[in-house]
Amino acid sequence: MISQTNIESRGFHKLTLMQRIGFGSGDLAQNLIYQTVAAHLLFFYTNVFGIDPIKAAFMFLIVRLVDVLWDPFVGAFVDKRNPKLGKYRAYLLLGGIPLTGLAILTFWDGFSGQLWYAYITYVTLSLCYTLVNVPYGALNASLTRDTDEIAKLTSTRMFMANLGGLAVQFGVPATIQYFAPQNDWSQPAASGTWFTVMSIYALAGFALLCFCYSQTRERIVMKEDQTETVRYSDLFTEFVRNRPLRILAFFFITAFAILAVSLSTSAYYMQYNVGNAHALPVFNAMGVIPAFIFLPLVPYIRRLIGKKRLFFVFLTIAIVGTAMQYLVSVTPGLKDQLWLIYAAQFVKFTGITVATGYMWALVPEVISYGEWKTGRRISGVVNALTGIFFKAGFALGGVIPGIILAATHFNAEKATQSALAQQGILWLIAVIPAMLILLAMFIISKYELNDELIDKINLEIEEKNKY
């Protein structure tokens, strides 16, 4: 038997509740900013700022192409350096300051309708977000190798992230609708309220990043003599030789596409299909509340049925939810029953939330697998790669809806949309997510790292590090 002290010294560190909450506050902070962008920026651009949907969709695509070039640079940059404030945690502060400012400027309408201003602010916002998010993701893998601790840490992190999600999904529309002229958040006259609310959220996010910095401690990082070998190209070589990483990367883009398409379409669905925009905050809340019920149970569910079955069970629940949404929307008389709409949203996001939440626990696993293969723990590079794919998934939340809205002749100036436009919105809220969920189930079925193998890999790594 290995003593607890010996286990801790070999990288299997135990984390306190405050340390888990402190780390999770970093995700809460980022969600206050980036989930607002994912869920509401397209609606802000088309209805308040005054950009054509197809132009907005193209801009979302361009931003993600920029990320493809930027993310690996950031990953290699943070892996090669050891700032005095911390190898990874330093960027919570250094990147958090410009991220806060850009988040505020993105929702300012001083140049209303000007596409160039939208490009500048959104592109630079995304660059600053990467400068925080990639090191934050790498920080996760530096805290402990213990798979049970990683599961608890991920559960706490996702619980905190969904507090941010609740603040965004319920708080943003509810607050803006309450203070906007004539309680209408979908008109240019509401632009000042959008700006004020985003300013408050961004400043709160920076305060939480500072708290995350104060509560985290890096224990498992690359040795300084190995940092000189890190290259920009490591992202591509690691992607080729690390099969579990490839599988996880494709799961990321699919999972976040499901999430982003659903989130960015909610405002259109409630305003034009259901015809009750003021019910949007509660509708969005039904998509976040499952996190507070099920995410604390994830470590126990994982131990009971295994992580792969966990994905299958909850993704199946998500498909049931999308089917409910579709049936309620096309059956005469049912879409007037708000409780049915809320119930369908709750079931759908029960599945989506757990699946997209627990997948973050797999990132330290693929990092350890790569370290086992090569002897280098390039956490920043690996998180840059997963960052590319999850932001690509989020981009689809703007690209796909923008294309569908344009193709079905959506017109933001009309209070009532055509039957074709409403059908397009229904596909975005239910049909397309269901298709993506099936794809995600196929991808995760190929993931091969079980808990026993990961524990074996981590123990072998620690044995090598002793000499």
Q: For the segment 86-118, what is each residue's pLDDT rounded down to a tens digit?
A: 888 999 999 999 999 999 999 998 888 899 999
- Rounded mean pLDDT of 353-357? 87
Amino acid at position 302, single letter: R
Q: How many helices (H) and strands (E) does the chain have?
A: 22, 0
For the chain, how far is it from start to end, CA to CA, in angstroms? Answer: 21
- Residue 420 pLDDT level (bands cut at 50, 70, 90): very high
Q: What pLDDT, on the 0 to 100 scale, is given for residue 224?
A: 65
Q: What pLDDT, on the 0 to 100 scale, is given for residue 465?
A: 66
Provide CB contacts within 8 A for 11, sequence distance 6+. 144, 145, 219, 220, 458, 461, 462, 465
Q: What pLDDT, on the 0 to 100 scale, is given for residue 227?
A: 64
Spatial distance between the Cα atoms of 272 and 443, rounded to a whole number of angstroms: 34
Give which of 187, 164, 249 is closest to 49, Cα–Cα.
Answer: 187
Handedness of CA 463, 464, 465, 466 (dihedral sign): positive
Spatial distance between the Cα atoms of 74 and 94, rounded to a whole number of angstroms: 13
Spatial distance between the Cα atoms of 163 and 291, rounded to a whole number of angstroms: 9
Instruction: List C-alpha distances in Å: 412 to 45, 119, 305, 370.
Output: 10, 21, 47, 48
Identify the CATH homologous superfamily for domain 18-219+234-465.
Answer: MFS general substrate transporter like domains (1.20.1250.20)
More confident residue, 189 or 222: 189
Which of the residue ranges 277-291, 336-350, 362-376, 395-409 has the most confident prediction, judged by mean pLDDT? 336-350
Q: What pLDDT, on the 0 to 100 scale, is given for residue 317?
A: 97
For 312-345, the pLDDT digits (tens) are: 999 999 999 999 999 999 998 887 899 999 999 9
Assess contact for 370 and 245: CB atoms under 8 A: yes
User: 226 pLDDT exceeds 70?
Assistant: no
- Residue 236 pLDDT level (bands cut at 50, 70, 90): confident
User: 287 pLDDT exceeds 50?
Assistant: yes
User: 195 pLDDT exceeds 70?
Assistant: yes
User: 380 pLDDT exceeds 60?
Assistant: yes
Provide CB contacts within 8 A for 175, sequence distance 6+. 193, 197
Q: What pLDDT, on the 0 to 100 scale, is given for residue 104?
A: 95
More confident residue, 364 or 443: 443
User: 223 pLDDT exceeds 80?
Assistant: no
Kindly state the DSSP code that residue 142 receives in the 8-state scheme.
Answer: H
Q: C-alpha angle with apex 49: 48 to 51, nearest 5 degrees?
A: 110
Provide CB contacts within 8 A for 4, sequence distance 6+. none
More confident residue, 318 or 356: 318
Spatial distance between the Cα atoms of 197 and 48, rounded to a whole number of angstroms: 14
Residue 451, SS3 per DSSP: helix
Distance of CA 155 to the CA centre of its chain: 14
Kindly state the DSSP code that residue 111 receives in the 8-state scheme.
Answer: T
What share of the chain has pLDDT > 90, as a percent? 39
Provide CB contacts within 8 A for 347, sequence distance 6+. 317, 318, 320, 321, 324
